[in-house]
Chains A and B, each alone.
Chain A
Amino acid sequence: MFRIVKAEFLAPEIKRFEILAPKIAAKRKAGQFVIVRISAKGERIPLTIADSSIDRGTITIIVQGIGKTTKEINTLQTDDFFLDVVGPLGLPSHIEKFGTAVSIGGGVGTAIAFPTAKALKDAGNHTISIIGGKTKEHVILEDEMNEICDEVYVTTDDGSYGYHGFVTGQLQELIDSGRKIDFVLAIGPIPMMNAVAEVTRKYGIKTVVSLNPVMVDGTGMCGGCRAVVGGKTVFVCVDGPEFDAHEVDFRLLMKRNNTYRNEEHDALERHICSLDKMYAEALKEEI
């Protein structure tokens, strides 16, 4: 059992948890993830370690509620528990001094990019961060990124804050303004990572993405997380999760992530019904 020492919402449906897991905290490196399970009947799902504190013995994860398990996780509060947390898994990010490094995060992707951006800064890079969100309230970790980056740009799809448009628009603007960019890290929804890869491909900028296939064990045992990179099949949990963006078959990744679309939808519907019931009963008790 892994106790939550702090839980807070950062944006609608995006919650940050600090979890007591001293071993993982001491071990983990930027780019690695954990697999968690919250109940005996629960699914195993992968979540990036966004940060850690060796002193407090904690790791931080940031969860976007998109389906049954992530929404259920986001109902957990301080002093609740995760049943299983295993990690650190996956290969650490490859960090070196590239020169100017841009980290691009879309939605919860910003949380996944955060530790790597920090490591890039520590390695002596001039670090730029582009944070994308649907609207102003969906922009996360702006202050945290400001602390560790030399420049931070915010974009919103509806223009309610920062640059009006997608993260790729902001990136293109930086390139057009003549900035020399040596390295790009892009993490977010698959279409966004794909779009960034297409922008940087034209300029030959080394670009890395962190892939998010469906996983089960996270140790290379099942092959469920396979993706195609450079024409070869890889197991993302042990060969990644970070790969050369210009080599990834994004179409395949997108298709494979739809495998359980119907089941996920049903599970979520049922979950929401049971939540409604819970709220209804809680209300009854109050009256």
Chain B
Amino acid sequence: MAELSNKERMKIPRQPMPEQNPFERNRNFLEVNLGFTEELARLEAERCIQCPKPKCVEGCPVGVQIKDFIKLVAEGDYLGAAAKIKEDNVLPAVCGRVCPQEQQCEAACVTGVKGEPVAIGRLERFVADYERATVGIRTVEVKPPTGKKVAIIGSGPSGLSCAGELVQKGHSVTVFEALHELGGVLVYGIPEFRLPKEIVRAEVEALEKLGVEFRTNSVIGFTDTIDELMTVEGYDAVFIGVGAGLPYFMNIPGENHNGVYSANEFLTRVNLMKAYKFPEYDTPVFDVRGKNVAVFGGGNTAMDAVRTAKRLGAATASIVYRRSEVEMPARVEEVHHAKAEGIQFVMLTNPLEFLGDDAGWLHGVKLQKMELGEPDASGRRRPVPVEGSEYVMPIDMAVIAIGNGSNPIIQKTTPELQFNKWGNIIVEPETMKTSKKGVFAGGDIVTGGATVILAMGAGRKAARAIDDFLLGEG
């Protein structure tokens, strides 16, 4: 193919992601996005003008060599592209699907200044899927055993990436996971229709092949404490990647009525326990068929919950958010998808009270309208209540998705660790070292609820520091 000029490249339109029809997909749990074909991927890759100083790379929290991998895609070397991405990001099939690209790599892409940015996330997903479908996830050389043992607590993206990095360096790695399945939020939180669980399983299996040992059903703090891991079990270092797993409630009246869920509970029942296949699977979830559901919050979790409720057959499924749409922290793509699927958006509205019947069943929520006032500490305009605007919205199920705090189990059982007032572990930012010798931490437990790519990056950074620590010790 003749070499294209930059001008020609910029004339190619951004390639759309093939997706399931909205009115079919809102009744099934299959993946919404179907992925680029080879043709679409090549065409999209041609749009990249190969900037001498690629801004996109700066936009990616882990510095994926975007320019280089896209060049390989344009040349048709998809496996080479996958290897290139994996130098910086070990979970491209996941990140290509769930990264908020519009705030990260794609936000920085120069073609986005005048037109639309290169679809970096979609390309990343394409090469990762291509690799998995053709040759399987390729594993790397493992260095000879060092004789050092590392315990990783939590199997979310931070724990998995830390484990992968350390096992390659020849350390013996054991991952302890509280639940019966591996993957953290990737399996219990993010729904199948956005991230098929098979992808997470494949990543875990690749790590197993490298020699990582996984122990499910191990709640560190209860099953073993961190001290016991280090003194009794002989682990030389510990990485804590336990996430932000404590659901916040709103502390308004009626919040304990039947039918009021935390997003964690609702999503765990549906995703991890497969309640969407009840009664084939034993775990039930409130039967929303033909009922009205409201989800409170504006993040990815809220979008996942509301779209899940719709798929379970809700007559109406609404997002109720106290700010306006532009302030919603959810990925733009998910908001678009939600709208196409018939989700209602009730903006600038705040719940005051959940209403229930005598038997304790939810039947409505008292809401109040808000308007935007002066910007607050986060720079977003603060919502203020509009007096006299209260009204009742009839609902049968509510999901609270206003964020998560830190689970206190580790804090209670590891007194030497330092925590901030939100219960996040305090670490040295360059090494992810905690205040306890040989113990490192990263991901949501350090930052508070953030993103998959940040958690993954933290896990890798910690792995490098752990490696230094282990070798330094001799």
Contacts and interface: CB of A to CB of B under 8 A. Distances in A.
A220 B279 contact: no
Nearest to A220: B407
A222 B258 contact: no
A217 B409 contact: no
B402 interface: no
A89 B223 CA distance: 8
Given A86-B180, A263-B287, 19 more contacts: A44-B180, A69-B282, A84-B180, A85-B217, A87-B219, A89-B222, A219-B178, A220-B246, A221-B178, A221-B247, A221-B407, A222-B247, A223-B262, A224-B261, A228-B256, A255-B258, A259-B259, A263-B278, A264-B284
B334 interface: no
A223 B268 CA distance: 11
CB-CB nearest 10 A-B residue pairs:
A255-B360, A263-B284, A222-B265, A86-B217, A43-B282, A223-B262, A221-B245, A224-B265, A223-B247, A84-B180
B218 interface: yes
Residues of A in contact with B, size category: 35 or more
A256 B256 contact: yes
A258 B257 CA distance: 11
Contacts of A27: 222-223
A247 B171 CA distance: 51
A233 B259 CA distance: 16
A256 B254 CA distance: 12
B273 interface: yes
Interface of B: 178-180, 216-219, 222-224, 245-247, 249, 251, 255-256, 258-259, 261-262, 264-265, 268-269, 273-274, 278-284, 286-287, 359-360, 407-409
B217 A267 contact: no
Interface string A251-268: 010011011101110110
Given A219-B409, A223-B249, A86 B218 contact: yes
Nearest to B400: A223
Contact of B217 (A68, A84, A221, A262): A84
9 contacts: A23-B224, A27-B222, A86-B180, A87-B219, A87-B223, A88-B223, A216-B265, A255-B258, A259-B286
A255 B359 CA distance: 6
Given A43-B283, A252-B256, A263-B284, A220 B217 contact: no
Interface of A: 23-24, 27, 37, 41-44, 68-69, 83-89, 216-217, 219-224, 226, 228, 233, 238, 252, 255-256, 258-260, 262-264, 266-267, 270
A5 B265 CA distance: 34
A224 B256 CA distance: 9
Nearest to B261: A224
A44 B273 contact: yes
A86 B282 contact: no
Contact of B268 (A41, A83, A86, A222): A222
A216 B269 CA distance: 8
Nearest to B266: A222
Given A233-B256, A238-B408, A267-B279, A222 B264 contact: yes
A43 B268 CA distance: 12
A169 B223 CA distance: 40
Contacts of A216: 265, 268-269, 273, 283
Contact of A41 (B179, B218, B265, B281): B281
Given A84-B217, A264-B284, A43 B273 contact: yes
B223 A260 contact: no
Contacts of B407: 219-221
A42 B282 contact: yes
A238 B223 CA distance: 14
Contacts of B223: 23-24, 27, 86-88
A217 B178 contact: yes
B262 A222 contact: yes
B165 to A, nearest CB: 26
B159 to A, nearest CB: 15
Nearest to A251: B360
Contacts of B255: 233
